Structure 1
Amino acid sequence: MIKPLLKVDGLKKYFPVKKGLLARTVGHVKAVDDVSFYVNKGETLGIVGESGCGKSTTGRMLLRLLEPTEGKVEFDGKDLTSLSSGEMRKVRSDIQMVFQDPYASLNPRHTIEKILGEPLLVHGVKSAKERRRKVHEFLKVVGLNADHAKRYPHQFSGGQRQRIGIARALMTNPKLIIADEPVSALDVSIQAQVLNLMQDLQKEYNLTYIFIAHDLGVVRHISDRVGVMYLGKIVEMAESETMYANPLHPYTQALLSAVPVPDPDFEKKEILLEGDIPNPADPPTGCMFHTRCPYKMDICTTVIPQLQEMDKGHSVACHLYGEEGGNDIKNDGGVL
């Protein structure tokens, strides 16, 4: 059995809710609640869900930009949650992040050469000549010119800035790149260019990606496996084509039914979820999704469903697939 490059077990992040003059803790927002998954070397794991579901928080905890409340993150045989800040800094040369907003993540006061050279300086490349050589090399790798190194971030378009963000992530030759909605701030025409670039780089440098997004079409294009999150929990995990052909969880089915199809003659039934996403500071008991689920049963309101494997590599957390549900949910290509 292949040992995964990254293994996450029982990851949690609770933010305290404080009130009153004494700022007493009166509750917690469970941004990420008992999330477990793995990523094999060379593959792309997509993590999708609505805004506020905890996917970006999960990505930041993997790098320990946010400290986990509980859980274990094992990368390349090392338990990252037990490392000191100095030890973690060394590991970050192997794990890099591409952020959502390409402008906000680049220092507007620094030239591109300084921005791209900084990771090399932090990780021990003291020679200015060597740093400049690598900056020019990776600018060309992402489709820009060496001359661009003297410019500032505001002199580039959004797509070019995201290419610079990708180049910065590549500077230390990482094994894993966490891409946090890297194309959501870009025009659709530019999105395809950046996605194709990321796929080309993955093949060339044998990269492993965790691709966080809310756009299911984008995730399908780039991911080998997909995990769906809802209110801090993973509710379904499967290979990409399996997920899109045969979604099991009612929430996944609703998400996929809302994806537009570029065919005017194609008819499909869109599943409309009633109600709003519950307050994460006061989540519902039992299954988090039961307040919006069209298949709600009595057990859903009291018992939290566990992620269980229904088929090889296809897991779902839903009582419909237990003894109580009788496994009788029907769907066809993501549409009920």
Structure 2
Amino acid sequence: MNPQFLLEVNHLKKYYEIPQGMFKEKIVVRAVDDISFSIKKGETFALVGESGCGKSTTGRTILRLTEPTDGEVRFDGEDIRSLSYEKMRLLRSRMQMVFQDPYASLNPKKTIREILMEPLRVHNKYEKKERMDKIRKILEIVGLSDHHLDRYPHEFSGGQRQRIGIARAVVLQPDFIIADEPVSALDVSVQSQVINLMLELQKEFGLTYLFISHDLSVIRHMTDRMAVMYLGKIIEVGNTDDVFENPKHPYTQALISAIPANHPRESKDRIVLEGDVPSPANPPSGCAFHPRCPAAMEICSRRVPEETDFGSGHTAKCHLYQMNEKREEKDEHAVIHS
């Protein structure tokens, strides 16, 4: 365990088996397929990709809301998979989640007072009076007040509901929060308010975020490092600025090219991908992206690419760079023997 990393994910897998009848083999859906990454204390790390690539499943599997099929998840040096139910429940006071749909994630039959009180009660935090003081303080921080305490979730706007969801995650003062598409269900005018709130909370409480999103504009604004997922696999990792300025994988290049221009007069070269995302129940052989890749070669359909390191923690899995490395090795070999 590297002490600078709060979370380490090693070869994580989550497969789902779909029965096909008595005489047919089960179909295996590889939702998360052997991924590894680490998150430093105090940073915001992003998981990026199209819908269905396995981002949300990764987040839920890390917290063991969904049990992993294989792999290792270490939080602050402790292997989460080996923990008993009781120890895992206690650890969740340090690991929280903000869900995509702020309405579906809040119990419609409970008031905001009850929703915010529940995690403090379950984890036996503070005395009763201290709990109310804590709730009032958190509400104030997220831009709400005492007169909201006895209202129900349906009485709030989408942005307010997400603020309540964030307050519920932060009230325990966790070390780590997984934010699963926390602004995708909100109006654009409200998104920036929620994003700025999350950044302010990170500074105040020293939070570490795993931010899951398909919105690259949001990712660039609020994250330090990012990983790009495609069909259950991570294909590129690096500092956010490095990946945006110099994307290596053809899929990452296509995603970044699709970001809307900032000004009507600004022109952008769009990379339009052909075809649809393949089914994770029947992924292509070799590199899973090769049927849609504009730079695909014959080797791409046969062999899974290895990781190429470009320095400063920027890596990508693509045969383009491995072929270049082999050519350079051949040229160097020829020079030595000439």
Q: Specify if TM > 0.5.
A: yes
Q: 1:4 to 1:118 in 2, by over 3 A?
A: same
Q: Is the 8 A contact 2:228 2:235 kept in 1?
A: yes
Q: Is residue 261–residue 267 contact of structure 2 (8 Å, CA) maintained in 1?
A: no
> Which amino acid letter does the alignment assign opposite residue 184 of structure 2?
S
User: Does 2:247 correspond to 1:255?
Assistant: no
Q: Secondary structure at the match of 1:125?
A: coil
Aligned to 1:331: none
Question: Does residue 94 of the first structure (1) align with residue 74 of the second (2)?
Answer: no
RMSD: 1.6
SS at match of 2:106: coil
Is residue 189 of structure 1 aligned with residue 189 of structure 2?
yes
Cα distance in structure 2, aligned partners of 1:225 and 1:319:
23
Aligned residue identity for 1:7: E
Query: Are residue 206 (structure 1) and residue 209 (structure 2) matched?
Result: no
Matches within 5 A, 1:273-292: 273-292=273-292
Return the offset for 1:306.
2.4
The CA deviation at 1:275 is: 0.8
Q: Does 1:31 align with 2:31?
A: yes
How does 1:173-322 map onto structure 2 within 5 Å? 173-322=173-322
In the other structure, the counterpart of 1:170 is 170
Distance change (3 Å), C-alpha of 1:126 and 1:205: closer
Distance 1:326 1:223 in 2: 34
The whole-number CA distance in structure 2 between the counterparts of 1:207 and 1:101 is: 22
CA spacing shift, 1:172–1:154, aligned 2, 3 Å: same
Cross-structure match for 1:43: 43
Matches within 5 A, 1:65-80: 65-80=65-80
In the superposition, the TM-score normalised over structure 1's length comes to 0.94
Give the structure 2 partner of residue 334 of structure 1.
none
Tell me if structure 2 keeps the 8 A contact 1:227–1:237: yes
Partner of 1:114: 114
Higher deviation after alignment, 297-306 or 181-190 = 297-306
Counterpart of 2:323 in 1: which secondary structure? coil
Output the CA distance in 2 between the equivalents of 1:297 and 1:195. 41
State the partner residue of 2:150: 150
Question: Is the partner of 1:19 in helix, strand or coil?
Answer: coil
Secondary structure of the residue aligned to 2:272 is coil
Whether contact under 8 Å (1:285, 1:301) holds in the other structure is yes
Is 1:104–2:98 an aligned residue pair?
no
Hey, what's the Cα distance between the residues in 2 that align with 1:125 and 1:324? 57
Equivalent AA in structure 1 for residue 298 of structure 2: D
Q: Is the 8 A contact 1:29 1:281 kept in 2?
A: yes
Q: Is the 8 A contact 1:319 1:325 kept in 2?
A: no
> Could you tell me how far 1:128 is from its partner in structure 2?
2.9
Structure 1 gaps, min length 5: 329-336
| TM-score (normalised: structure 2) | 0.94
- Deviations along 1:270-327, one digit per CA (max 9) or x if unpaired, are 0000111111101000000001001111110011112332222101010011036779
2:14 alignment counterpart: 13
SS in 1 for 2:149: helix
Shift of 1:24: 6.1
Q: What is the CA deviation profile of residues 37-83 of structure 1, one whole-angstrom value per residue up to 9, with x for unaligned ones?
A: 00000000011100000000000011000000000000001000111
1:114-160 Cα shifts (integer Å, max 9, x gaps): 00110001101373322222111110111111221111101110000
Shift of residue 25, structure 1, vs aligned partner: 4.7
Return the structure number with greater helix share: 2
For residues 197 and 209 of structure 2, the distance between their equivalents in structure 1, rounded to whole angstroms, comes to 13
State the aligned residue count: 327
Which letter does structure 2 place at the counterpart of 1:313?
G
Residues of 2 paired with 1:117 and 1:241: CA distance? 39
Give aligned-pair identity as a percent: 57
| CA drift at 1:3 | 2.7
Question: Which moved further from structure 2: 232-241 or 263-272?
Answer: 263-272
**Secondary structure at 1:273 match in 2:** coil
Amino acid at match of 2:111: T
C-alpha contact (below 8 Å) 1:7/1:37 kept by paired residues: yes
Structure 2: where are the runs of 5+ without partners? 329-338
- How far did 1:36 drift? 0.2
Larger radius of gyration: 2
Q: Which residue of 2 aligns with 1:58?
A: 58
